[in-house]
Amino acid sequence: MYRYLLLIAALCVASPALAQAPDTVFLERMTWDEVRDAIAAGKTTIIIPTGGTEQNGPHMALGKHNVRVTANANTIARRLGNALVAPVMAYVPEGGIDPPTGHMRFAGTIGLPDPVYRQVLEYAARSLKQHGFRDVVFLGDSGGNQPGQTAVAATLNAEWAGSNVRVHTFFNYYRGDPEGSAVLMMQRGIRRDEIGDHADVRDTSLMMAIDPSMVRTNKLQAGDGKNGVVGDPRRASAEIGRALIENTVTRTVEEIRASIAAARK
């Protein structure tokens, strides 16, 4: 009986804590009325992250883009102070399916036709506009995501020209300041020839900084034209990744603020 009373007392003490709204910017971790209240309180910017499920060489997990863009969107939204983050779009254009081209040549990759990707992106934006968000930000973590985001943003902004809602998209988030990034890496001992375009030292360093469990360090190997790697990730490090992330996040926050301010003029 005494133990039973202690359990009841513990539950009573814990209940208020369990009832509190979580400290989160992620839409999917909020209830509908928490979202409503957040919008009413001024959180009228929504980030739609687009990632991808694709091969990243023998050493890095398929969800690299999804994990990376989720982590970065969280930091960006918190720095903006008035933003929430929609669920990441994990399926994006990755190449042809039959016959397989691009990343679809490697096991595990999941691709969408570009028109399907664009329609999903469009209706995500339309849904969020309906609920009261005024600035919709497309944050694409992969190169193939960018043309669709640019096209959808242009279409919706033309349609919504008479409203107070705007769509913003930023290619610079994905590959802004490539020379600056190269210099940053070379200052930390990386040779220019090690810097490639996919699953290389840059990509791998970013993942080591965000979630090292996604990297198989015993499988690091230079690109050979067959293994899905373009460049050489063998000297990647979390230190390099953290520096690259800070540059990207700082630049993107500034660009989002500038784009929103310009849209309000």
Percent of the chain with pLDDT over 90: 87
Domain boundaries, the chain: 23-175+248-263
Q: At residue 230, what are phi and psi to the nearest 5 degrees?
A: -120, 105
User: Which pLDDT value is given to residue 19?
Assistant: 60
pLDDT tens, the chain, 265 aa long? 445 444 445 545 544 445 677 899 999 999 999 999 999 999 999 999 999 999 999 999 999 999 999 999 999 999 999 999 999 999 999 999 999 999 999 999 999 999 999 999 999 999 999 999 999 999 999 999 999 999 999 999 999 999 999 999 988 898 888 899 999 999 999 999 999 999 999 999 999 999 999 999 999 999 999 999 999 999 999 999 999 999 999 999 999 999 999 998 8
How much is the pTM? Answer: 0.91
Neighbours of 44 (CB within 10 A): 19
Q: Give dist(CA 159, CA 63) in Å, integer.
A: 34
CATH number assigned to the domain covering 23-175+248-263? 3.40.50.10310
Output the six-digit token pair for 56.
């990243």
What DSSP line would sit under 46-62, residue for residue?
EEEEE--B----TTB-T
Torsion of CA 128, 133, 135, 140, to 10 degrees: -30
Distance of alpha carbon 221 from the chain centroid: 26
Q: Give dist(CA 146, CA 51) in Å, integer.
A: 11
Q: Give dist(CA 29, CA 47) in Å, integer.
A: 15
Which residue in the block uniquely carries the two structure tokens 């890095």? Answer: 60
Q: Which of 262, 41, 27, 43 is nearest to 166 (CA)?
A: 262
Q: Strand 166-169 vs strand 83-85: parallel, antiparallel, or unpaired?
A: unpaired
95: left (phi over 0), alpha (psi -120 to 50) or beta: left
Neighbours of 201 (CB within 10 A): 25
DSSP letter for 169, please.
E
